[in-house]
Amino acid sequence: MSQLINHHPASFRDPSGFIYEKEGTVYRFVSSLYKAHYELLQSSGLSDELLKKKLLLPYTALQENHTGRADWYLTLVPQYIPLLSYAWEWSFSQLKDAALTTLSICKAALQKGMILKDATHTNIQFVDGKAKLIDTLSFERYEQGEAWVAYRQFCECFLNPLLLAQYTGFEVHKLMLSYPDGVPANITSKLLPLKTKLKPSIYLHVHLHANMSGKATGTANGSTKKISQKNIEQILQNLEDCISNLKLPSTTTTWNNYYDETILSDDYLSAKKEIVSSLLGSLNYSSVIDLGANEGEFSLLCKKEAMVVSTDFDSACIDSLYQRLKKEKQQHILPLVVDLTYPSPGMGWTNAERTSFFQRKSFDVCLALALIHHLAIAKNISFEQLASFFASICKTLIIEFVPKTDPKVVGMLQWRKDIFEGYTEDQFEVAFEERFILKQKTDVPGSKRTMFVYQKK
């Protein structure tokens, strides 16, 4: 029997186990090395408590060794996650909630005699509208006197980028793309304003660490100072208080007030919603990707039984949508910050640990509303390239064509040379009919725009 069955390329660092896939199902191999920790996770009641609070991804246990490995102890079947997302695709509030979830889990673990041995954002996913820990093997028995080994990792992965976002205006997804393993304390300390040194929590968790980085740790024989459980609990509470008070700086972009101020007209928006609702109602689908979703007005028209991914390059829009979904307890929409012209690349070891965004999933339906002029004119992407791209990610495409006479396109061309002679509705149709079958074409009242429905050939 094969020892490794579709071993997940991101699951190789922890000797306690790994993720693999067999016949379309994702499994977690648990090594006999982890037996004592797993039994404590169960017997202490920690697993049940975290599952009840929806902080841990649900899983079931199987007595089936698919791998043939002699060190097999148990097989877990975690809940299916339709689409993995990463911190470099999250908004400020998403990273903040992921941080607070990690701290809540660690605090609960300590009360049960366990602790998190790692605290990375890659162990968190947004499932059913809530940040959850997906790595069941992150827990280990807490030994009295030992420090929280994941403390620095937590600060680098969560606290430091959130602080930089609040105090410098950096966007967290861009920070995490530059520092996928977390922003180091020395970098954070240099970028934060001087006044943050006067804030005890920030001084303790960032500036003091930066001062100590590069200095020898421990004593000559390698021993380290003991720390009590109460001290660890105080650190966790201090981190929670600090992060809970962080807020996304108020910003106004071209896009996060789009529906209120820059949309063509209320009649246009109302008519477009009616058209899109009708089109979606006529389709059979279980997954949708809304590209250039802004604050998700059209994602919200999708049926709640479907998994909807709403993307936009504007992190303020996505943060606003995330906050709205939380408030309304809508669980079927996953908002992500994605720039279509620079989507998340493959990252990590051999570029395979974290796959590029559009390699992760294809969708039944793609919404591309008021988007094509931004790609074709602002980014000089041809209709042929766009048709090929959309055909690679969906079966049904609902796309809005915005003509050159549209006020938005006129504005875009006001200060640049018009080199887009081929940007016509006829040329658009010719290019898209190479890869799609036209199913429906509807004028959008209140505008000169046209809605097309295409079925992939």
Instruction: Express each pLDDT in 68-116 by its tens digit.
Output: 999 999 999 999 999 999 999 999 999 999 999 999 999 999 999 999 9
Q: Does the pLDDT at position 123 exceed 90?
A: yes
Contact of 434 with 443, CB cutoff 8 Å: no
Q: Which pLDDT value is given to residue 4?
A: 54
CA gap 296, 61 in Å, rounded: 38
Q: Which two tokens stand for residue 274?
A: 């009616």
Q: Does the pLDDT at position 448 exceed 80?
A: yes
Mean pLDDT, rounded, for 259-272: 75
- Helix, strand, coil percentages (3-state) for the chain, rounded to 5, are 40, 20, 40
Residue 151's closest CA among 245, 45, 231, 216?
231
Q: Which pLDDT value is given to residue 220?
A: 42
Q: Which pLDDT value is given to residue 253?
A: 62
Mean pLDDT, rounded, for 6-20: 87
CA gap 1, 384 in Å, rounded: 46
Q: Which pLDDT value is given to residue 267?
A: 84
Strand partners, 453: 398, 440
Give the rounded distance of the alpha carbon of 398 from its chain centre.
Answer: 24
Strand 333-337 vs strand 307-312: parallel, antiparallel, or unpaired? parallel
Tens-digit pLDDT profile for residues 225-256: 789 999 999 999 999 999 999 998 776 565 56
Query: Which of 7-11, 50-54, 67-71, 405-409 has the lowest average pLDDT?
Result: 7-11
Q: Which pLDDT value is given to residue 327?
A: 96
> Quick one: what percent of the chain has pLDDT higher than 90?
87
In degrees rounded to 5, what are phi and psi of residue 31? -80, 155
Give the DSSP H or E segment for 17: strand 17-22
- With cut-offs at 50, 70 and 90, classify the pLDDT of residue 13: confident
Mean pLDDT, rounded, for 319-333: 96
Contact of 428 with 387, CB cutoff 8 Å: no
Cβ–Cβ contacts within 10 Å for residue 357, how many?
Answer: 24
Strand 59-62 vs strand 25-31: parallel, antiparallel, or unpaired? unpaired
Residue 101's closest CA among 147, 141, 133?
133
Give the DSSP H or E segment for 281: helix 266-281
Tens-digit pLDDT profile for residues 301-311: 999 999 999 99
- With cut-offs at 50, 70 and 90, classify the pLDDT of residue 1: very low
Those residues whose C-beta lies under 8 Å from the C-beta of residue 154, and which sit 6 or more positions away, are 99, 102, 103, 119, 239
- Name all contacts of 402-410 with Cβ < 8 Å and 24+ positions apart: 402/370, 402/372, 402/373, 402/449, 403/448, 403/449, 403/450, 405/448, 406/373, 406/447, 406/448, 406/449, 407/264, 408/264, 408/370, 408/373, 409/373, 409/377
CA-to-CA separations, 356 to 241, 269, 350, 352, in angstroms, rounded: 34, 33, 12, 9
